[in-house]
Structure 1
Amino acid sequence: MNTFLFRRVFYLVFLLVGSCWAGRAQEYKYEIGGMVGGSYYMGDLNKNAFFKGLNPSLGVVFRYTPNFRWAVKTDLLWGRVSGSTDGMENFFPNGATASFDRNFFELGGQMEFNFMPYSDKFAYLNTKRFSPYVFMGLGVTVAPGNQTFASLNIPLGIGVKYKIINRLNLGCEFSFRKLFGDSFDVTDGNNGFLNNPYGVASSAFKNKDWYSLLMFSVTWDFGPRCQPCNNRFSNGVY
């Protein structure tokens, strides 16, 4: 292949790849909005009952969207969790009883993957205004009180998002938060035995508390990416 033809092919491939890469970017870089929903606890006072003791939760969310498939999300959440031995089928040693009720705050970040290329534009790229997604990340949970609890958490969840109109998104997601502590349900000395009620040795991933969130969100897109200017006389310059 001679040099002239090689250059032509190279430029053509470069333009095609560049066009595809640019075309796969979202129209807007960022999303911001609010979330509202419910939170509940899973631990010694609730082993496996989904949505038992559901309490309110709310927060704010911010996303950076580099393309149709991926998003980087940051959230700041407040929630409430509670639990009690009332109605439990299993019993603690010596017939001990306990209950708790506390607020918590979370600051976290997650990576999201959309199963569909998410956008209400660029139909030639087979984009969809509806998409399910999965996410995973890392966060910090703090629950103030007489005995303050603080721990890293690992969020893992699924969700769906729908773009109602350009720039306006609705979302719903369900997630588990894995904590690295067993005192999320310990608020005072009366239920301190919940740190290890059965005397079973624990590890980083065993006998630790969890909490879950079911959240509904509304977000607004902003930060448009550079758009080609079609004005020949922009700023009064030819």
Structure 2
Amino acid sequence: MYKKQLVYFIAMFLCGISAKAQVFEVGAVVGGSGYLGDLNQNKPLKISGVSAGAFVKANINPYWAFGLHYTYGKIKGDDTKSDNQDFRDRGLNFSTALNEVSLQVDFNFFEYFAGGGTKIFSPYIFTGVGGVLYNPRATYPEYNGIKYDNVKLRPYKTEKEDGKDAVPYKNYSLTIPYGVGVKVRLKENWGLFSQIGYRTAYTDYLDDVSGKYPSTPINQYLSNPTGATGYGPVGSQRGDFRKRDTYMFVGIGISYTFVSQKCYTF
């Protein structure tokens, strides 16, 4: 009898924690992506590619949620399409896929989650920490009979550091996500949301552009494909002076929340 009561007490205690502390949520999101860096310095809302992602969250209560997120996106930049004449003279371009994994925390301003709460919608903010994989590529005209079509730029070491040609930069980086959105409960456990989020990447090489012009001929060509006068002197500044690139994901998504309806009885 004692053992049965103990088992019952433990089961009800765990059920109470589950009901009050956590409901699990899964979801997917699609949208666009963009970036701020050396080839786009002042248009934070410019979309340059597509994005898609998925997540799983634990809703601690109607206000707080913690989640594991994966997002894929594509970003690009092209000096020849810039409204800045100096950029058009420089003539750089790049594109890269982004593969991001992050841990994020949401804060809902209203008492909301898809499986319950007193509100059917809520604005929210989020932040966290993650990592991103990237590998910038570019397409340029022929050089010495070779056309550089969608070539990976990282192995060419297109910059100088401290008086010597740079080693290839890492193709991964720590990233800090942050953003805002709004959630709406649709029916029962289903929810709809839309959000925009920026990521501060702890690298300046999402676009392959950061420091100073290199010295070897092929590297000089890939860092100054137009051969424009005033660009490309060895050791001169190649990009802007900001030390980190930023990228952005914007999208709309749907989620499903798993909520226990009742506890086991004995």
TM-score with structure 1 setting the length:
0.73
Question: Which is worse superposed, 143-152 or 106-115?
Answer: 143-152
Over 3 Å counting, the alpha-carbon distance change for 1:131 and 1:91 in structure 2 is same
Select which of 36, 53, 68 maps to 1:74. 68
Aligned with 1:91: secondary structure? Answer: helix
Q: Distance in 1 between matches of 2:182 and 2:193?
A: 6
Check if 1:197 corresponds to 2:197: no
Is the Cα contact below 8 Å between 1:105 and 1:143 reproduced in 2? yes
1:86-97 matches, cutoff 5 A: 86=80, 87-89=82-84, 91=86, 95-97=89-91
Partner of 2:252, secondary structure, is strand
Unpaired runs of at least 5, structure 1: 1-17, 201-205
* CA apart distance, 1:51: 3.1
User: Which residue, 101, 104, 127 being the options, matches 1:107?
Assistant: 101
Q: Which residue in 1 is equivalent to 2:203?
A: 181
What value does the CA root-mean-square deviation take over the aligned residues?
Answer: 3.1
Structure 2: gaps (5+ residues) = 1-12, 137-151, 155-169, 210-217, 225-231
**Displacement of 1:62:** 1.0
Q: Which amino acid aligns with 1:160?
A: V
Q: Which residue of 1 aligns with 2:121?
A: 130
Give 1:35 deviation, angstroms: 0.9
- Counting aligned pairs with the same residue, the percent is 26
Please point out which of 162, 177, 181 is paired with 2:184: 162
Q: Distance in 1 between matches of 2:68 and 2:115?
A: 25
Q: 1:183 to 1:96 in 2, by over 3 A?
A: same
Q: Look up the SS of the partner of 2:73 in the other structure.
A: strand
Decide which moves more: 104-113 or 47-56.
Answer: 47-56
2:130 aligns with: 139
Q: How does 1:29-44 map to 2 (within 5 A)?
A: 29-44=23-38
Query: Deviation string for 1:155-178 (max 9, x for gaps)?
Result: 110011111011101111101100
Match of 1:209 among 228, 241, 245: 245
CA shift for structure 1 position 54: 2.6
Give the structure 2 partner of residue 85 of structure 1.
79
Letter in 1 for 2:188: N
1:219 paired residue among 240, 252, 255: 255
Q: Report the Cα offset of residue 53 of structure 1.
A: 4.2
Contact 1:24-1:67 within 8 A present in 2 as well = no
* Cα distance change, pair 74–128 in 1 and its aligned pair in 2 (3 A): same
State the shift of 1:199 in Å.
Answer: 7.3
Structure 1 CA distance, aligned partners of 2:178 and 2:95? 24
Q: How many residues align?
A: 200
**Farther-moved stretch of structure 1 (81-90 vs 156-165):** 81-90
